[in-house]
Structure 1
Amino acid sequence: MKLFKIPQKAGKKHKTRIPKIKTPKTNSLKTKIKKINFQKIRFKLIGAFIVPVGLIILLGFVSYSKASTGIIKNYENAIETSLNMLSQYYNLGLDSLYVKATQVNANEKVKKFYSGIYYDETTNEEITYNEVQSLVKSIAMTDKMLNSVFVIPKNGEGVSSYKVLPEDTYQQFMESEEGQNLPNLGLVNYWAGSHRFLDRLVSVGEEHYCMSLYKNLYDKNYNVIGYIVLDVRMDFVKEALSELNLGENTYTAFITDDGREIFDKTLDDDFTFSSQEYYQLAKSSEDLSGYSYEIYNGQQYLFIFSKVESGNAMICSLIPKDMIIKQAEDVKTVTFIFVIIACIIAIMIGSIISSGISKTINRINDGLSKAATGDLSVNVKTNRKDEFLALTTSINNMIDAMRSLITKMTRVSENVASSAVDVSTNSGLFLDAVKQITDSINIIDQGLSQQAADSEICLDQMEGLSNQIDVLTEKTSDMNNIANSTRGVVDSGIGIVDDLNRKSKDTVNITQSVIEDIQRLESESSTISNIVATIDNISKQTNLLSLNASIEAARAGEAGAGFAVVADEIRKLAVQSAASANQIAMIIKSIEEQTEKTVLTAKRAESIVSSQEKALHKTIEIFSDINKQVESLLESINTILDGIGRIEVTKKDTLYAIESISAASQEATATSGELKMTADNQLNTVQLLNKAAERLKADAKNLEETVHIFKM
C-alpha cells in the first residue's frame, strides 16, 4: 500500500484530520488549503459519493423528462383509444340499423303492399297496411337506439312510428331541401344529421334524434319504390359522450357528415369543430383516427379524432395541454425533493464512512510497517464489525502464520542442509545410470533402422504381386462377361427356334386342315357329278317326251300346231340342258383331277413340315447342350472369381499388415530417435541437477543465517 504524507513544517507533528476552513485572510486560507492532502482515501470516498449524487441529479432530470414524455404519450394514447372504442361502439350500434332497414325491406307484407298487389282488394289492403304500420312501430319500440322509423313510398300512404303519412308525402319530401340533396342511392347508404321536413310532418323536434339513415325501399322485383328513414335516438350518442368525461374545459362532440355537432355538454361559447381548419383536414384524410396539437384562443390544445365509418360521422375532442402536463409537473416537484434529500444523505453517509475507514487503515498500516521491519510480535486491533474486522483478523493470522513459518523454516533449513549433501551424492549415481541407458538406446536405434528397411523391400514386392493379381482379376472378369453374352445369345437362339417350332406345328395343322377340306371338296364334286347325271337323264327323257309330243301334234293337224311349237321349245331346252350338264361334268372331272393333285401336294408338304419339326427338335437339343456348357463355364469362372476375390482380400490384409509393420518400424525408429534425444536431455538435466545440488548446499546455509533475523 502506497502511503501519502501531507507536507508540514519541520518540528510539527502530522495530523490526519481535515482542518476547519474559516474565513480569515486570503494568505491564511491558501496555506490551510495546501495542508489538505486530497489523495487520502477520505476525500476519494467523498468524491466517489459525489459521483452517484451527480448521477442521482441526472437521474431526476432524466426521470422527469421521461415521465413527462411518457405521461403525455400515455394520455394521448389513452384518449385516442377511448375515442376509438367509442367509435367502435357507435359502429356496432349503427350497423344494427342496416339490419332493421333490411328487416323492413325483406318483409313480405311490405313488398306486397307497396307493389300494388292489393289495390283491387280493399279489405286485404287495409289489413296489410295495418300490419305494415304495426311492424314499423314494433321495430322502433323494441330497439333502444331507434327514435323513429319512416317508410316513404312513391305511391300509396306512407308509414311512420308516429302516425300515418299522407299519400303525397313522397312528392313533398322530394321537393324539400333534404329530398333535393338526397343522392341517387343505388346500393349506397346515406346518413344525414336532420330532416326538417319530416320533423314538421310528424311534429317532432330534432333534439330527439342525432342522425338518420336513408335506405332504398324495394318491391318484389327489387325495383326502387321509395325510401326507408331510421332516426337514431339522441341519448344513444349523448350518454356515451358524457361517460367519456375527459374533464373540464374540454370540447367533445359527435359530428355528422352534413355538419351537425352534438356535444357532451352545454358550451359557454359558440365553439364549433366544423369551422376549424384542422377538423376539415382530419375529415378529408384517409386516417380513421389521429391527433395533433392546435391553438385555440391563444392556448394550446390536443385535438383528437376518430371516424365512425358506419355512420359517415366523426368523434372529435379538444383537450387543454395544461391539463395533460399537470401530472408531469407533480412528478417534477416530487423528483426534485427526493433528489435533494438523496444528495444530502449521500454526502453525510460518505463523510461518516470515509472517516471510519481512514482511521482503521492508518492503524493497519502502522502494524504492517512494524512487521515489515521484522517485528512479528505486533498485533493489529479495531472496534469495527464489518469487513475491516475480517481484514485485521486476517492480518493478525498472517503475522502469526509468518511467525510459525519462520520457526519451521529454522528447523527446515537444518534438514535442507543435510538433504543437500544426500542429493549431491545421489545425483552422481543417477548420472552414471543415465549414461548407460543412452548407450543401450543407440544399439536399439540401429536394429530398428535395419527392420524398417527390410519392411520397405517386402512392401515393394507385395505391391508387384498385387498388380499381377489385379490383371488376373480383370481378365477373368472379361471372360465372365463374354460367357454371359454367349449365354444370352444361346437363350435368344433357343427362343427363336422355339418360335419356329411353334410356327411349324401351326403349318402342319393348317396343312392337315387343307387336306381335309380338299377331301370334302372331292366328296362334294362326286355329289355334283351324280346331280349332273340326273340332269342328263332328265334332259334325255324331256327330249323323248318332246319328240312324242311332236308326233302327237302332227297327228292332230292344225289343232296341234301350237302344241308342236311348245314341244319344239321343250326339245331345245332339253338339248341345252344336256349340253350344260356335259360341260359341268367336264368341269367337275377337272376339279377332281386337280383336287387329287392338291391332296398329293399337301401330303408331301405335311411330310416336309414333319421332317422340319424333327430338325427343329434336334436344333433345340443342340442349343440346350450349348447352354449347359456355357452354364458350366460360368460356374467355373465364378469359382475362379471367388478365389481371386479371396486372394484380393488376403492381398489387402497382407499389404495392410506389411504397411502396418513398416509404419510401426518407422514409428519405432522415430521413437527411438526421440528416446535418444530424451536420454541426452536427461543426461544434461542430471548434470545440471548435480550442479543445483551443490548450489542447494550453499543456499541452505544462507537460509539458516537469514531466519535468525526475525524477532519472535
Structure 2
Amino acid sequence: MKGTLSKAVSKLSKFWGKARDGVSATDMKRLGRQIGLQNPVRSVGTKLLLIFFASIVPLVLVIGIMSYQISKSVIKNKVADASQQTISQATDKVDFMLESMENITVQIMSDDAVADNMTKYKDKSLSQFDKLQTGQLVSNRLKSYTLSNNKIADINILPLSAESTESYRTATPAKDDVYKSDWFKKIVDGDGKAVWLPTKKSGYVSTPNSFAVARVLRNIKSSTVEGVLIVELKTNALKDALGVVSIGEGSEIAIVGKDNNIVFTEQGGEPETPYIIDVNANIAKTGETSSNFETEKDNESILAVYDPIARADWLLVGIIPVGELVKDASVIAKLTAGMVVLAIVLAVLVGIQVIRMIARPLVALRNLMTEGARGNLTVRTKETNRRDEIGQLSASFNEMMEQITALVSQTNASAQEVLQTAAELSEASKKTSISAKEIAVATEEIASGASSLAVEAERGSDLTGGIGVKVGHVVDANEIMETAAAEVQAASRKGADYMSELITKTGTTEDMIRAMAEKVEKLQESTSSIRKILDMLNNITKQTNILSLNATIEAARAGAAGKGFMVVADEIRKLADQSRQSIDVVAQITDRIQTEMKETVGVLSEAYPIFQEQIASVKNADDIFKQVQAQMDGFAGKLQEVTASVRELQDSQLVLSEAMSNVSAVAEQSSATSQEVASLSSEQLGISDGLVRLSGKLERLSDSLKESLSKFSI
C-alpha cells in the first residue's frame, strides 16, 4: 500500500506541475496583463481554481484511502476467520492421531502376553536363560505393535529407577541422567496418565528426532507397577495427521509447546528452539486459548492463528504475512490514484472555465470603474445582454453612471446659485454684527450690578443656613442624650430590681446553710450513738468467744458424748469471729463518716461568715443603685427642659432662614435675568460673527465645488 501511494503521489505531483506550468504560461499571464496585476494568484479566478482543487482532490483522496483501509480490514478479518476454522480442523486431526497413540499404550497395558511374561520375569526361581527368553517374548510383542503401525519408531519399557533389577527393561538408556530429567519425573508423577513429550533431537530412549507418549505401566493382573512405557513416534506422524494444511500463500504451520519451543514444523525450524513468535505470551495477555492476533516480525506485519491441542497441551499455530492477505486490495489503491488524477484534471478545467466566465468580465468592469473614478462619466459596459449576475451587475453599473452624470450636472447648476446667495448673505451679516456689539456693552453693565447684589444676599443666606445646621445638630444631640438617659434610667431600675431579688435569694441561701449545719451536727451525734452500739456489739462478740471456748473445754472433758456440742461451740466461735470482723468494718466506715461530717461542719462554719459579708455587700450595692436611679430621674427632667428650649430656638432660626432665602432668591433672579440678557447679547454677537465667517466659507466652498465639477466630462 505504501509503495502504491508513493507512486500515486509522485504521479500527482508531476501532473500538477505540468498543469500549473501550463496555466501560468497561458491563461494566468494573459489574465494578469488584462487586470493589471503583477501577481496573478491574487485574482478571483485563481482563487476559485484553488478552491475547486482543494475541495475535490482531497475528498477523492480521503474516500479512496478509506475504501482501501476498509477493504483491507474486511479481507484480513475474513481470512482470519477462515484460517481459524482451518487450524481448528487440523487440531481435531492431530488430537485424533494422539488419541489413537494413547489407545495403543492402553492396548499394551491390557495385553495378556505382556502382563504374563512380565510377571514371570519377576519369579526368583527362574533361571537366567528363562529370564532371557521371557524378556525376548516381551520385546517381540512390543515390536509387533511397532511393525503394525508405521507412525511408531520404537516402544520401550524402563524401570522406575536406574538401580532397579527386578523390573523388566527392553532397552538400557544411554545415560542414567534420564531418571533425573524433568520429563521422566513428569511421567512418574502422572501415575498412569498418558503424558506427551515434545520432539527431541536426541530422542528419549532409542530414536533421535522423535516425540513420544509415555505413562506408568501397571500389570492389569497383579496391579503392580512394572515400569515406564515410552512409545517414541516419528515426526512424520504429525505431518500425516495435519495433511495438506495451508491458510494462504506464504503461510507457515507449526506445533509449539507451552515453553514456546518448536514441536513440529515443515518450514525447517529446529525442535527444542523457540518459535519465531510467542503465542503463549498473547494467551497470557488476552486469556483466549483459541484466537488470532497481529504482530510484527522483522519489520513485517504477521497474522497468527492458533488453537490448542488438548491431549498434548500443545498449540497448533499458523502464521501468514498480512501483505499477502491484502495484496488484492492494491487494485483499490491504483483506482484511487487514477481518480485523484482525474479529479485534478477536472478541477483545473472547471477553474479555467470559471476564470473565463467570471474573472474576465469582473476585470473589464473594474477597469471601467477605474476610468469613472478618474472623472470620465461617459464609460459604459457592453455585458448587459447576459442574464446572470454579471449581466445584472453590468446593467446596474450603467444605470449608476447615468445617475451620477445627472447628479453632477444638477450640482453644477446649484453651485452657481449658492455662490450668488453667499455674497448677499455676507453683506447682511456684517451690518448685524455692528448692532450686536453695541447692545452687548450696555447689557454687561446691568448684569455686573445685579451680580454684586446676588453675591451679598447669597452670603447672608449661607450664614443663616449654617446656624440652622448647628441648631439641628444640637437638637439631635439632645434627643440622643435624652434617649441614652432613658435607657440608663431603665437599666438602673432593672438593676435595683435584680439587687432586691438577689438579697432575697441570699437570705434564703443563708437559712439553708444554717439548717444544713444543724442537720450535720445532729447526724454527727447519731454516728456517736452508732459508735456506742458497735462497742457494745464488740463486747458481746468477745463474750461469745469466751463462752464458745468454755463450751469447747467442757465438750473435750465429756469425751465422745461431747463431740456434737464441740462442733456447735466451734461454729459459734466462727460466727463470733465473723461478727467481730463485720463490726470492725462498720466501725471503720462510721469513723470515716464521722470524720467527713466534722470536715463538712468546719467548711460550713467557714462559709457562714462569708455569706454574712456577701449579704452586707449586696445591700450596699442596692443602696447605690437606688441613689443612681434618683439622680437619673432628676437628670432626665433637666434634659427635657433643655430640649424644649432648643426646639424653640430652631423654630426661630427657620423663620430667619426662610426670610434670607427669599431675599437671596430675588437677588439671584435679578442677576440671572441680567446675565441671560448679557448672554443673549453675546450670543447674538457671536452669531453675527459666525454668519460673517459662514458667508466667507460658503463663498470659498462654492468656488471649490465649481472647480471640482470642472473635472467631470459630461
TM-score bin, normalised by smaller chain: 0.3 to 0.5
TM-score normalised according to structure 2 size: 0.39
With CA pairs under 8 Å and 6+ residues apart, which has the higher RCO, 1 or 2? 2
TM-score, with normalisation over the residues of structure 1?
0.39
